[in-house]
Chain A
Amino acid sequence: MALDRVSFDVRPGRLTGFVGANGAGKTTAMRIIMGVLASDAGTVTLADRPLDLAARRRFGYMPEERGLYPKMRVLDQLVFLGRVHGLTPVLARTRAIELLEELELGDRMTDVLHTLSLGNQQRVQVAAALLHEPVLLILDEPFSGLDPIAVDAMAARLRARAEAGVPVLFSSHQLELVERLCDDLVVIHEGRIVARGDAAQLQEEHAGTRIRIVVDGGTDWLSAAPGVTVVSSDPRGTVLELAEGADGQSLLLEAQRHGAVREFGRVVPTLSEIFHEVTR
Chain B
Amino acid sequence: MTTQSPTASAVAADDVTEVSRGSLIRTIASREIWVKLHDKGFIASTVFFLLIIVGATVIPIMISQQSHDYRLAVVGDQATAVVTAATGLHTSASSGDVPKVTLTTSSAADRAAAEALVRGGNADAALVADGTALTLIGRDAVPDDLVILVKAAAAQTDVSRVAAEAGLSSDQVRQLVAPTPPKVDLLNAQPDRAVPPILLVMIFGFLFYFAVLTFGISIAQSVVEEKQSRVVELLVAAVPVRWLLAGKVLGNTVLAVAQVTLIVGVGLAGAALAGQSALISQVAGASVWFLVFFLLGFLMLACLWAVAGSLASRVEDLQSTTMLMQATVMVPFFASIFVTEPGRVQEVLSYIPFTAVLLMPARVINGTAASWEPWVAAGIVLATAALFVVLGARLYEGSVLHTSNRTRLVQAWRSARGGRS
> Which of B1, B7, B23, B420 has the most chain A CB atoms inside 10 A of its CB?
B1
Residues of A near B238 (CB, < 8 A) are 53, 56-57, 84-85
Option from B16, B19, B234 in Cβ contact (under 8 Å) with A67: B234
> Is B28 part of the binding interface, using a Cβ–Cβ cutoff of 8 Å?
yes
Contacts of B371 in A (CB 8 A): none
Point out the residue from A36, A54, A166 that lies within 8 Å of B19, measured CB to CB. Answer: A54
- Contact size class for B? 35 or more
Point out the residues of chain B lying under 8 angstroms from A86, CB to CB: 16-19
- Determine whether the beta carbon of B3 is less than 8 Å from that of A9: yes
A-B pair count, CB < 8 Å, reads: 139
Q: Does A34 contact B (CB under 8 A)?
A: yes
In chain B between 372 and 405, which residues have their CB closer than 8 angstroms to a CB of chain A?
401, 403
What is the minimal beta-carbon distance from A124 to any residue of chain B, in angstroms? 12
Which of the segments A99-107, A130-138, A200-208 contacts the partner chain?
A130-138
| B-contacting 9-mer, from A39-47, A147-155, A259-267, A270-278 | A39-47
Given the complex of chains A and B, what is the CA–CA distance between A207 and B310 in angstroms?
A: 50
| CB of A38 within 8 Å of the partner chain | yes
A47-70: CB near B (< 8 Å → 1, else 0) gives 110001111111101011111111
Given A72-B35, A133-B15, A61-B234 contact (CB < 8 Å): yes
Please measure, in the bound complex, the distance between the C-alpha atom of A10 and the C-alpha atom of B2, giving whole angstroms.
6
**Are B24 and A84 interface neighbours, CB within 8 A?**
yes
A236 to chain B, nearest CB (A): 40
CB of A73, distance to nearest CB on chain B (Å): 9
Q: Which residue of A lies closest to B244 (CB)?
A: A84
| Chain B residues whose CB sits within 8 angstroms of the CB of A167 once the complex forms | 3, 5, 8
Interface contact A80-B31, CB-CB below 8 Å: yes
Q: Quick one: which of B34, B35, B225, B421 contacts A53, CB cutoff 8 A?
A: B421
A47's partner among B4, B234, B418 (CB-CB below 8 A) is: B4
Q: Judge whether B11 and A67 touch: CB under 8 Å.
A: no
Cβ-defined contact, B234 with A81, below 8 A: yes
Q: Is B9 an interface residue (CB 8 A)?
A: yes
Tell me whether B181 is interfacial, beta carbon within 8 Å. no
Instruction: Tell me whether B5 and A165 are in contact (CB under 8 A).
Output: yes
Asked if B295 lies at the interface with its beta carbon under 8 angstroms from chain A, I say: no
Partner of A69, one of B28, B231, B401: B231
Contact of B233 with A34 in the complex, beta carbons under 8 Å: yes
Measured CB to CB, the nearest residue on chain B to A84 is B238
* Cα distance A56–B240 in the bound complex, in angstroms: 11
The answer to whether B233 and A47 have CB atoms under 8 Å apart is no
Q: Which of B3, B16, B421 contacts A12 (CB 8 A)?
A: B3
Question: How far is B28's CA from A132's CA once the two chains are assembled, in angstroms?
Answer: 17
Q: Which DSSP category, helix, strand, loop or mixed, fits chain A's interface?
A: loop
CB-based contact B233/A12 at 8 Å = no
- A168, B226: Cα distance in complex, Å: 26
In the bound assembly, the distance between CA atoms of A167 and B3 in angstroms comes to 8
The answer to whether B1 and A36 touch across the interface, beta carbons within 8 angstroms, is no
Question: Among B8, B23, B235, B401, which residue has its beta carbon within 8 angstroms of that of A135?
Answer: B8
Q: Is A268 located at the chain interface by the 8 A CB criterion? A: no
Query: How far is it, in angstroms, between the C-alpha of A166 and the C-alpha of B16 when the chains are bound?
Result: 16
Which residues in A have their C-beta under 8 angstroms from that of B11?
58, 135
Contacting residues of chain B (39-61) with chain A, CB-CB under 8 angstroms: none
**Smallest CB–CB gap between A164 and chain B, Å?**
8
Given contacts A35-B420, A67-B229, A133-B15, contact A45 B1 (CB under 8 A): yes
Known A-B contacts A84-B24, A87-B16; A47 and B8 likewise in contact (beta carbons under 8 Å): yes
Q: Which of A45, A84, A166 lies in contact with B2, CB distance below 8 A?
A: A45
Within 8 A of B (CB), among A1-35: 7-12, 31, 33-35
Q: Please name the residue on chain B nearest to A55 by beta carbon.
A: B12
* B419 within 8 Å of A (CB atoms): yes
Judging by beta carbons under 8 Å apart, are A36 and B240 in contact? no
Say if the beta carbon of B236 comes within 8 Å of chain A. yes
Closest partner residue, chain B, to A49 (CB atom): B9
- Give Cα distance in the complex from A40 to B24, angstroms: 28
Q: In whole angstroms, how far apart are the Cα atoms of A81 and B401 in the complex? A: 18
Closest to A133 in B: B15
Whether the pair B1, A8 counts as a contact (CB closer than 8 A) is yes
Determine if B8 and A36 form an interchain contact, defined as CB atoms under 8 angstroms apart: no
- With a cutoff of 8 Å between Cβ atoms, the chain B residues found around residue A59 in the complex are 237
Contact A52 B3 (CB under 8 A): no
Report which A residues bind B (CB closer than 8 A). 7-12, 31, 33-38, 40, 44-48, 52-59, 61, 63-72, 76, 80-81, 83-88, 128, 132-133, 135-136, 165-167, 169
The 4 closest A-B pairs by CB, nearest first: A67-B230, A12-B5, A165-B7, A63-B233
Report 12 cross-chain contacts, Cβ distance below 8 Å, ordered by A residue: A12-B3, A31-B233, A35-B236, A37-B401, A38-B419, A38-B420, A40-B418, A57-B238, A65-B403, A69-B225, A86-B16, A86-B18
A-B contact sample (12 more), CB < 8 A, given A46-B12, A76-B34, A135-B12 = A12-B7, A35-B420, A46-B9, A64-B230, A67-B229, A67-B230, A83-B27, A84-B24, A84-B234, A86-B17, A88-B17, A169-B1
